[in-house]
Amino acid sequence: MQLRLFVAAMAAFALSACDSSPSGTPQSCTDIIEACHEVDPGTGEEHECHETAHDVGTAEACDPIVARCVMLCEALTPVDGGGHDHDGGDVDGGAHDHDAAP
């Protein structure tokens, strides 16, 4: 019975956690992901920032670019805070896939 409760609690926790910034990710990469995830236009420097933080995910990759990437992505953030659109800013409105081949 206790094992079932533990498994259920862990499953609920896993479902409630946002998967945009994996555990163990360096703070600089996390900062980029948080700034760029919702506004990633799918191309350009902002997209490269987002992909580097997700796909490379090392301090060596993110530390040198964090200030510029956060600045660029924050400039794309709507002034009113916007809704949780999560379409990555694609022109066609489609969701972006971090695992898709370029």
pLDDT of res. 39: 95
Q: Dihedral of the CA atoms 11, 17, 19, 21 (nearest 10)?
A: -130
pLDDT of res. 6: 38
pLDDT of res. 80: 65
pLDDT of res. 100: 46
Give the residue carrying structure tokens 């420097």.
45
pLDDT of res. 97: 52
Phi-psi region of 42 (alpha: psi -120 to 50; beta: other; left: phi over 0): left
The rounded average pLDDT for each run of 10 residues, N- to C-terminus, in the chain (102 residues) is 42 37 83 95 95 96 97 88 48 47 45
Residue (of 46, 52, 65) closest to 25 by Cα position: 52
pLDDT of res. 89: 46
